Amino acid sequence: MRWLAKASAVAALVGQVLSQDPPTFPFPTSCSGVAAPRFAYTIDSGWQVTKIASGLRQPRTIIFDNAGHMLVLQATSGISVHTFGPDGCINSTKTLVQNSGLNHGLSLTPDGKTLYASSQTTVWSWTYDQAALTLTGQKTVVSGIGQGIHSTRTTVVSPKNPNLILVSVGAASNWDNPTIDPKVGRAIVKIFDASKAPSNGYSFNSQGTVLGYGLRNEVALAFDPNGHVWGSENSGDDFRRTVNGQSTDIHIDNPAEELNYLGDPEQPLANNWFGYPTCFTVWEPSNFRDNTALKTGSQFVVSPNSTFNDASCNGKAVPPRLSFPAHMAPITNAFDPAGTNLYVTFHGSWDRQPAQGYFVAEVPFQKNADGNYEPVAAADSKTGYKNIIGAQNPGSCNSPSLTMSSCWRLAGLSWDQAGERLFISSDNQAQGEIFVLKKK
């Protein structure tokens, strides 16, 4: 009876904690001491926006703890935490850890007690104290990640099973042909059980479970309300289509960026090859005069032949559920709390004129009769999303490197704990900025 009484008391305490409403803050119309926006933008009439932070060093990823504090990974610098005052503006900033190797991945367990972050080669964890605003007990969770042109390592915690972390590694080059074999450990998303990590961490290539491979650079990962994973993929550059010895430049509008359904981390898909480095996705069908059957969302190969052609991809590679225009470079995915929309930041193109991207997309989702979520738009749609805020004149944006541009470079994206305010960052090295958005 004493054990039962204690168990009931613990259950009541847990229930009380879980039932607490997340912290809310007003939407600020301006924040004192924050520089004016560095780059011009336009915003949808149904939204409002205020810049709340400036002078950051490449703010790449934004998340929130359970007390409503904002954690920011500043690439090549470290992790900072920011608290809010009663006016909804930032009223304090503290560096949690300095590490010049940190460049993208940042995620908290649902209980807010364990923080994960990544460099190009390693994923670490810390014990996080949201009251003291401290990190302690650094541990290596995953190591030995290969290096290449895609250096970011998205790291996210499963909301259904907080022991599971997902780590995404992109291809080492535009054409990374060895990645047809998942054992290579690139162009892949893997799952690791952090509760069973060896003392020196998992070896990325030889351990963990494959969630999906053939994913050229699946930087943006998000969980829908069922805990299933949706990834946005940065596809290839400088493509030419070669048919019967005739080569045609198709790179302006192909291949499409992709929105992929990666499934449930606890029950990975039976077929989890998503096509790279063989099968790619059509955005503009008119570029493929040799195959008029292709449409937006179809799979194609760059050099079809008698052994393997466009149709060979069908049934072998998992096609995307939705496509985006070429070269827009999706960086972060985030669902609203109800799962009715997925939001995506597009960093913007570098190898296309006129340039495109540099905006936040809203992708309407629906819950089907079987309980699963998917985009409202059909897989062959070109209108399955809308721009809610973006560069004023994206066609003229010039981006000579990943963090240099004449426009903002949208990267981080996160809803606050109350699901009322949407935060976005620009990691342009000219000025790292954070903005808060809210629907009117």
Whether the pLDDT of residue 5 is over 90: the answer is no
- Helix then strand then coil, in percent of the chain rounded to 5, is 10, 40, 50
> What is the model's pLDDT at position 402?
83
**pLDDT value, residue 21:** 81
Range with lowest mean pLDDT among 40-49, 74-83, 183-192, 400-409: 400-409
Hey, what long-range contacts does 21-26 have (CB within 8 A, 24 or more apart)? 21/418, 22/66, 22/68, 22/416, 22/417, 22/418, 22/419, 23/67, 23/68, 23/417, 23/418, 24/68, 24/418, 24/420, 25/68, 25/84, 25/86, 25/88, 25/416, 25/421, 26/86, 26/87, 26/88
Neighbours of 124 (CB within 10 A): 23
Q: Is the pLDDT of residue 3 over 50?
A: no
Kindly report, residue by residue over 250-299, the tens digit of the pLDDT: 999 999 999 999 999 999 999 999 999 999 999 999 999 999 999 999 99
- Using an 8 Å Cβ cutoff, are 42 and 59 in contact? no
Task: Tell me the pLDDT tens digit for each residue of 223-248.
Answer: 999 999 999 999 999 999 999 999 99
pLDDT at 12: 36
* Residue in 215, 213, 222, 221 with CA at minimum distance from that of residue 236: 215
Mean pLDDT of 347-355: 94
Q: Mean pLDDT throughout 372-378?
A: 98
CB of 126 closer than 8 Å to CB of 138: yes
pLDDT-above-70 percentage for the chain: 95
The whole-angstrom separation of Cα 75 and Cα 42 is 26
Strand partners, 212: 189
pLDDT of residue 148: 82
| C-alpha span between 123 and 197 (Å, rounded) | 11
Mean pLDDT value of segment 41-68: 98
- Check: CB of residue 51 under 8 Å from CB of residue 435: yes
pLDDT in tens, 73-101: 999 999 999 999 999 999 999 999 999 99
| Lowest mean per-residue pLDDT among 7-16, 106-115, 274-283 | 7-16
Single-letter residue type at 117: A
List the structure tokens of 163: 């022991």
Number of Cβ atoms within 10 Å of the Cβ of 252: 18
pTM: 0.94
Lowest mean per-residue pLDDT among 8-17, 140-149, 151-160? 8-17
Give the per-residue pLDDT at 10: 35
pLDDT of the residue at 431:
95
Average pLDDT of the residues of the chain: 94
Tell me the mean pLDDT in the region 49-68.
97
| Strand pairing category for 188-193 and 209-213 | antiparallel
Q: Where are the strands (E) in 65-195, listed by range?
A: 70-74, 78-84, 90-98, 106-108, 114-118, 123-129, 134-143, 155-157, 164-169, 188-193
The Cα 403–Cα 231 span in angstroms is 22
pLDDT, position 20: 66
Q: Return the pLDDT at 17.
A: 38
For position 69, what pLDDT does the model report? Answer: 98
Within 8 A by CB and 6+ apart from 148, the residues are: 170, 171, 172, 173, 176, 186
Answer yes or no: is pLDDT of 249 > 50: yes
pLDDT at 15: 39
Q: Give the model's confidence band at 7: pLDDT under 50 very low, under 70 low, under 90 confident, else very high.
A: very low
